Structure 1
Amino acid sequence: MSDDLVPDDLWERIAPLLPPQPERRRRHSGRLRVPDRVALAGIVYVLRKGVAWRDVPAGLVGCSGVTAWRRLRDWTEAGVWPRLHTELLVELRNTGLLEMDDCAIDGSHVRALKRGDHVGPSPVDRARPGSKHHLIVDRRGTPLAVSVTGGNRHDVTQLIPLLDAIPRIRGLRGRQRSKPKRLFADRGYDYDKYRRLLRKRGIKPLIARRGVAHGSGLGKTRWVVERTFAWLHQFKRLRIRYEHRADLHQGLLELACSIICLRRLRTSF
């Protein structure tokens, strides 16, 4: 079961990034540590199925949900997920599958069933507690950076932080890439202040205007970010935020983005 949830190509990329296992001080001291690949299978199982950690079938996955959660906590604090995402983006660029000249940005609301960091009253869900996923993608919909905020945060407040979150992506030739040439966005980002900030960074803003009839044509390029949100929310654990800790929910988001990038690599061969 763990091989189905964590295929070889995913494991080969993530294994070198994991922190070293603690040494056993004495022989026969306590139970053996659950292998990292099995624990990762438990994390991916929760990410895909959306079940509670306590409901992870230990007999099927190979470890308990508590063990999987603890490994998620440790690996999140060790910064494993953003490094995995960056490595996959580098692979995509080296194979010619990353088109960063044109990027699109958007946000998406999700309900939050528990209080915690980055939870706020959602303006689109009767002020119920919620969070927001903010995403920037390349022309093909490859996720470049993702973040989570409270449901009451405006999309435009995360425009610059999300651009700054794009890693420096190496290529076989040329300079590292960390910003697009053109950025597409909907009317929620229609502020001249942010247009000026984008131009100062050498980015051409292509943002729909409020009060103008639909039909600008920007949607021909911007639709890919909506499709990527649909890909992300196929991971059932991301449709509703259950994690009390925002960093753990962020870690699951970054793991899902890495899996999407890996699927893009598979289709290239």
Structure 2
Amino acid sequence: MDLTNEQWSLIEPLLPARKLRREDRPGRTPTPSRALWDGILWILRTGAQWSELPQGKYPPYKTVHRWFQGWVKDGTFHAVLRALALDLKERGGFDLEEGFVDAFFVTVRRATWREALQG
């Protein structure tokens, strides 16, 4: 499930301007920002590793990851997620004030883990 046109219209204005390829310097055509965001959201939705990003449907995983890191570092990622969450709240689907995360984990002593493997 990729971004809808409506969702993209919310995100696009929040993205910093990107350098376009210069005519006097040949090189790769810039990857469209929408394709990068679709790849990022696929990873977040599935919980898969970056290298498992489907080839052909999304840009190369290294490109998507590099842009993700940059957008996290400069605050763009947070702004986009907030805009999407606020849009969802306005449509009655989610309230940021009521959201929470529930996590459960168990730590295991290393010796116990090794004993379990040895049987």
Mapped to 2, the partners of 1:17 and 1:81 lie a distance apart of: 9
Mapped to 2, the partners of 1:85 and 1:74 lie a distance apart of: 15
Q: Is 1:108 aligned to 2:102, yes or no? A: yes
Q: Over aligned residues, Cα RMSD in angstroms?
A: 3.1
Pairing 1:171-250 to 2, within 5 Å after superposition: none
Mapped to 2, the partners of 1:96 and 1:51 lie a distance apart of: 29
Task: Quote how far apart the aligned CAs of 1:91 are.
Answer: 7.1
Are the equivalent residues in 2 in contact too, given 1:42–1:64 (CA < 8 A)? no
TM-score (norm 1): 0.34
Mapped to 1, the partners of 2:88 and 2:49 lie a distance apart of: 33
Deviations, residues 157-199 of structure 1 (Å, cap 9, x unaligned): xxxxxxxxxxxxxxxxxxxxxxxxxxxxxxxxxxxxxxxxxxx
Q: Is 1:34 aligned to 2:31, yes or no? A: yes
Are the equivalent residues in 2 in contact too, given 1:19–1:78 (CA < 8 A)? no
Q: Mark the CA change 1:56 to 1:109 in structure 2 (over 3 Å): closer, same or farther.
A: same
Mapped to 1, the partners of 2:12 and 2:70 lie a distance apart of: 14
Deviations, residues 93-125 of structure 1 (Å, cap 9, x unaligned): 5x677778xx55755336xxxxxxxxxxxxx41
Q: Aligned residue for 1:79?
A: 75
Q: Mark the CA change 1:105 to 1:75 in structure 2 (over 3 Å): closer, same or farther.
A: closer
Mapped to 2, the partners of 1:96 and 1:8 lie a distance apart of: 19
Q: Aligned residue for 1:59?
A: 56
Pairing 1:33-182 to 2, within 5 Å after superposition: 33-61=30-58, 63-87=59-83, 88-89=85-86, 92-93=89-90, 107-109=101-103, 124-127=105-108
TM-score (norm 2): 0.68
AA aligned opposite 2:39 = G
Q: Mark the CA change 1:89 to 1:64 in structure 2 (over 3 Å): closer, same or farther.
A: same
Query: Could you say what secondary structure the match of 1:5 adopts?
Result: coil
AA aligned opposite 1:109 = A
AA aligned opposite 1:125 = V
Percent of matched pairs sharing the same residue: 25
Structure 2: runs of 5 or more not aligned: 110-119
Structure 1: runs of 5 or more not aligned: 111-123, 129-269
Task: Quote how far apart the aligned CAs of 1:18 are.
Answer: 0.7
Mapped to 1, the partners of 2:101 and 2:31 lie a distance apart of: 37
Mapped to 1, the partners of 2:25 and 2:7 lie a distance apart of: 32
Mapped to 1, the partners of 2:92 and 2:41 lie a distance apart of: 28
Query: Could you say what secondary structure the match of 1:59 adopts?
Result: coil
Mapped to 1, the partners of 2:38 and 2:101 lie a distance apart of: 29
Mapped to 2, the partners of 1:109 and 1:66 lie a distance apart of: 29
Mapped to 1, the partners of 2:37 and 2:4 lie a distance apart of: 11
Q: Mark the CA change 1:28 to 1:53 in structure 2 (over 3 Å): closer, same or farther.
A: same
Q: Aligned residue for 1:19?
A: 16
Flag the structure with higher strand content: 1
Q: Mark the CA change 1:108 to 1:20 in structure 2 (over 3 Å): closer, same or farther.
A: same
Q: Aligned residue for 1:188?
A: none
Runs (4+) of structure 1 exceeding 4 A deviation are: 95-100, 103-107
Mapped to 2, the partners of 1:97 and 1:53 lie a distance apart of: 29
Query: Could you say what secondary structure the match of 1:20 adopts?
Result: coil
Deviations, residues 104-162 of structure 1 (Å, cap 9, x unaligned): 5755336xxxxxxxxxxxxx41257xxxxxxxxxxxxxxxxxxxxxxxxxxxxxxxxxx
AA aligned opposite 2:80 = L
